[in-house]
Amino acid sequence: MTLLTVGLVLVGAALLVALVRFVLGPSALDRMVSLDAIVAIIMSGLMIYAAMTGDSTVLPAVVAVSLVGFLGSSTVARFLGRGRGERPGSTGSTGSSESTGSTGSAGRTDTEGRR
């Protein structure tokens, strides 16, 4: 058993764990984080395959998968940010204690940023 084969088995196990987190995730944010992990695991698996076979035609697929993963993450982050009342393009930090999630008496928020 070569080192690359062991790596491929470990990547497969990581994929199973990430899929379980995706299915059982209680919130949309948990599912999004697990989907990011799944994209990274797929890229790792493709790279291990390219190293095992010496086939460099897989590399454009890795770039495409990374681009799709980035676009998907940024789209979902923007969608979830709008749900909390943030403006598009804002960084979310205005310098006040309300935006940082601190527990002041006037701006008390829970862990998800809701009032």
Residue 108 lies in a domain: no
Question: How is residue 86 annotated by DSSP?
Answer: P
Q: Measured between alpha carbons, how far is 22 from 4 in angstroms, rounded to an integer?
A: 26
pLDDT digits (tens, 9 = 90+) for 12-41: 999 999 999 999 988 888 888 899 999 999
Place of tokens 């403006």: 87
Residue 26 lies in a domain: yes
pTM of this prediction exceeds 0.85? no
Domain count, the chain: 1
Residue 44 lies in a domain: yes
Q: What is the CATH number of the domain that holds 59?
A: 1.10.287.3510
Residue 111 lies in a domain: no
Residue 8 lies in a domain: yes
Residue 37 lies in a domain: yes
Three-class DSSP category at 110:
coil
Q: Measured between alpha carbons, how far is 29 from 41 in angstroms, rounded to an integer?
A: 18
pLDDT at 6 over 50: yes
Residue 100 lies in a domain: no
Residue 107 lies in a domain: no
Domain of 39? 3-83
